[in-house]
Amino acid sequence: MSGTSVTTAPADAELRRSIAATLLPGFVGTTLPAWLEARLRAGLGGVCLFGQNIASIQQLRALTGAIRAANPDAVIAIDEEGGDVTRLHYATGSPFPGNAVLGRLDDTVLTERAGRRVGEELRSAGVTLDFAPDVDINSNPDNPVIGVRSFGASPELVARHAAAWTRGLQSTGIAAAAKHFPGHGDTAADSHLELPVVDVPVEVLRERELVPFRAAVEAGARAVMTSHILLPQLDPELPATMSPAILGMLRDELGFEGVIVTDALDMHGASGERGIPEAAVLALAAGCDLLCIGTENTDAQLQAIEDAIADAVAASRLTPARLADAAQRVHALSASVESAPVQSAPVQSAPVQSAQTARDTPEDRAVSADSVVGAFDVSETGREWVRAHGGAAYSVVRVETVANIAVGVAPWGPFAAAEGAPRDPAAAAFAAQPVVVLTEGADSALALDASLPVLVVGKDLHRHAFARAAIDRLRAERENVVVVDMGWPAPDRAYADIATFGASRLVGQALLELLGRGS
């Protein structure tokens, strides 16, 4: 079998149905395209939604309703981590704290509540599978793609919060997909752009990276997402997504029986050297069940992938039984979500905001901004600056770095908070301050009022030479400078007088409340 020809033989039709059931494409637009509707009616496994597909909660409900009308068994997936990575709140910034904040608060009951609130929103929106929680251990502070998406740097801490978030999310009937197996935390590269290498022995992997995945599996996670990283001491040739040896650990050592879903195959770490069709074949052969294709897929692209998989079967690189097993797992996932009871009993924990419907306003939060401040790391310099200048006039230097692809361009930090709650006194006060934007390549000699103290706000500042240079210059020229890092700071906190460990809208509001306290 080659090209795009499709026979009508029963065996071939059954094979094609199995292939279609393993595919999870994205698409362009806020309505269901005709080509995607046709594929759903023919048995396509599901659809993955991104920020670009969402204009409002009403529009999203109509979209998921159209998907379900075309295929009631379709998986409707989304990346909603409840923090810096958000799709439901891509236009406004997330009203949830994010994993690193939850890990620092270290209240698993609160973490479970946050997972439940996210699940309630997804359930209301018609989504069935959430690519969360991120259970990577952020053991490398220079990690460009995980950072504050992680609960922390300790395997035990990450494990207990991974289990709590999973329980909370799945209590609403939404399936969780713990990610990125076997662990993306010890990397200094972004698999969206290249193939990261984690050169550690299997013993280290078992004692560190696998601990949170085991906890998520034991908590009942219905899916696990793979990573496009190379672990040469386990498989010197193939990234985890395509490695039978590595995925075998998930099945055999961790006892996971649910759906193994790939991270997006359009990422360079997966398809940069081989193309998406071949990456799809290798992922299925390795043991993956559901293939997340990417963000802007087309009918022609899916046809090429289906044909490549069919050709692999014809060439005995892939068996019909492996495809049938993958399709069965995907169908079982969809059925488990549909039949799952929603546990509505509230969890008793720290102060929370009530939420009865899908939340898209800054007032409707799972965790209060006041609680979030407790997760901040504030140096004495930061405390002195807040005491002396909080609540007064100051200049703001907004450091804009290139966001990783997972985060995208969602509004962040105090800027999102000020825009989202203009009547809030702290937000209004911040919005009144003069702002200078600093970007890479711009002149570091910033035009600032010499009479005003300076608040520098950015993310992962220690990783960006232009940001370090500008901060060093400001500190040399002035005495009244405070630096806020809303990413994952360096261990020595050299560029983080105030470290917030997240940049969601809620965390931004918490920062504004801290700044507004003054003396």
User: What does the angle CA 378 – CA 95 – CA 294 come to, to the nearest 5 degrees?
Assistant: 110
* CA-closest candidate to residue 290, choices 223, 230, 336: 223
Secondary structure element (H or E) that encloses residue 178, with its range: strand 175-181
User: What does the angle CA 326 – CA 238 – CA 266 come to, to the nearest 5 degrees?
Assistant: 65
Bridge partners, residue 77, by sequence: 48, 129
CA distances from 22 to 262, 352, 384, 425, 445 (A): 10, 39, 56, 50, 54
The residue type found at 149 is R
User: Which residues 6+ apart lie within 8 Å of 210 measured at CB?
Assistant: 182, 183, 249, 253, 254
Is omega for the bond preceding 196 within 30 degrees of 0, making it cis?
A: no
Query: Pick the catalytic residue: 89, 161, 192, 462?
Result: 192
Secondary structure element (H or E) that encloses residue 123, with its range: helix 108-125
Q: Is 192 a catalytic residue?
A: yes
- Distance of alpha carbon 469 from alpha carbon 472, whole angstroms: 5
- Distance of alpha carbon 407 from alpha carbon 397, whole angstroms: 21
User: Which residues 6+ apart lie within 8 Å of 125 measured at CB?
Assistant: 57, 60, 61, 64, 88, 358
- Distance of alpha carbon 502 from alpha carbon 486, whole angstroms: 5
CA distances from 518 to 277, 285, 383, 391, 434 (A): 58, 60, 9, 5, 19
Query: Pick the catalytic residue: 190, 263, 424, 497?
Result: 263
Full DSSP string of 430-456: HHTS-EEEEETTS-SS----TTS-EEE
Strand runs labelled E in 282-418: 291-292, 377-378, 395-400
Positions marked catalytic: 192, 263
